[in-house]
Every structure is written in C-alpha cells, then in structure tokens.
Amino acid sequence: MNVLEESFGHRQVTPQERRMLIRAVFSAVAPRYDLMNDLMSWGIHRLWKRRLARRCEAVRGRIVDLAGGTGDVARLLVRSDREVIVVDPSLMMMKAGLAKARRPSPNAWLAGEAEALPLATESVDLLAIAFGIRNVTRLDAALSEIQRVLRPGGHFVCLEFSRPAKWLAPFYDLYSWLVIPALGAIVARAPIAYRYLVESIRRFPDQREFARILTEAGFVDVSWENCSFGIASLHFARKSH
C-alpha cells in the first residue's frame, strides 16, 4: 500500500507525505486532466474560469497563475499589457499544457510551490489560483508567500470548490462520491487520484470560513461570489497599501 492509498485509511499522513501524495495525484492525471475537468463538470468549469478572467479585466502588469497546471486560466488572462506567468509544482502538468501549443500563450512557465514562490518580493500585480489552494501543504505559509510577492494594493483572486446550496448538496454529494471516481477510473485510469480530489474538496473551508482565513492572513477588501449555487466560489482580496 502506498501513500496515495493510505491517505484514505485510518493513518494520518504527515505534511511531507501529503506533499508527495499531491504530486503523485497530478502526475497521474496530467495527460487527461483537461478532458476530465470537462467531463466531471459538463464543461461548466470553463464558464467559472471565464468569470474569473472577466473579474480581473481592470488589472494590468505582471499576472501569476499559481497552480496553473496546463495553463487554461493563464491563457484567458493573456493580454498585450500583461506579463502572464504560470507557476506550478508539477512538471507533468505544465508539460501537458505546453504540448497543446495553444495561442495566446503565457509568457513563462515556472516550477514552484505556493509555500516557496520563485518570484521577487512585491513583483506581482495580480495572483490568481483556480482549484489549487486546497492542495497546498500549508495554507498559512502559502498565503504568506502570496502576500510577499504581491505589490502593495495587489490583487488576489481564488476560484475554488466550496459548499453548494442546501437543496443541491445531497445530489452534488452523490455525484461526487459515485460518478467522479468512476470517471477517473475509466477516462484517466486513476480512480484513487480522483477519490483524493473529492476528499480534498470536502476538507476545504466553506465560503465564509475561507474569507475569515484571508482576513486573518492580512488581506483587505475580502469578498466572494458563488458560482453554480455555491459548487464553486470566487474569492477576492487585496494586499494592503
């Protein structure tokens, strides 16, 4: 039994094991990650990401797509008045993104983790992260690093799975536990990896709690808006001047 399998048993994995687990998950699913996202969400994740991009239209300068994976969010953010950088710990995910050779393309792809960003202090105007914040090993360290690299007044936007409305929750839970791992087994040939991804959604704080965490981390102008009745949420914040 490996760490990936043990993570669903009774033994509590260590932070280092969790780090290895997450890397194993994304290495396993990288070749079919975008296809799986389309199938799991019926393509709705693309609408959520486009909404993220629209909410960031006023920001110019250096844009970082943290945990950017295959670069699908970064491509939505590319503009002539921006430098767009993908930062992701998984070389396999970025390799899959580069292989698509789509245009527009990010300016740079950097290997790096949220807890130790390969970026200069106060060098970023906007840091976006989509469906990646729940996979960091230490959330407090990641938020501290995001604060470090943002310029004073810089923007942080996070798209993440959250808590759906009460009327939707039972149907969503059933779909998550039964359909998503089955798709992972058939399409991505990685059922355990997608079981982990469902587990990670359940463990992540809900909308209000994550907003509180951002405020306690020192961000200002913290707010959120629900997507698809709360299945996902867009969180907004700024670094203080």
pLDDT of 115 reads 95
Q: Which superfamily, per CATH, for 3-238?
A: Vaccinia Virus protein VP39 (3.40.50.150)
Mean pLDDT score, 194-202: 78
**Is a pLDDT exceeding 50 seen at residue 4?**
no
Domain ranges of the chain: 3-238
pLDDT of 176 reads 83
Q: What is the pLDDT of residues 84-105, one digit of tens each?
A: 999 999 888 888 888 876 678 8
Q: What is the pLDDT of residues 43-56, one digit of tens each?
A: 899 999 999 999 99
**Is a pLDDT exceeding 90 seen at residue 160?**
yes
- pLDDT-based confidence at residue 231 (cuts at 50, 70, 90): very high
**Is a pLDDT exceeding 70 seen at residue 34?**
yes
Q: How far apart are CA 199 and CA 180, in angstroms?
A: 11
pLDDT of 166 reads 94
**Starting at the edge strand that comes first in sequence, how are the strands of the sheet with 232-238 ordered?**
108-111, 82-88, 61-66, 124-130, 150-161, 232-238, 220-227
Q: How far apart are CA 116 and CA 216, in angstroms?
A: 20
pLDDT of 6 reads 41
Predicted model pTM: 0.88
Mean pLDDT score, 62-82: 95
Q: How far apart are CA 184 and CA 23, in angstroms?
A: 17
pLDDT of 3 reads 38
Mean pLDDT score, 171-195: 74
* pLDDT, averaged across the chain: 86
Q: What is the pLDDT of residues 163-172, one digit of tens each?
A: 999 999 999 8
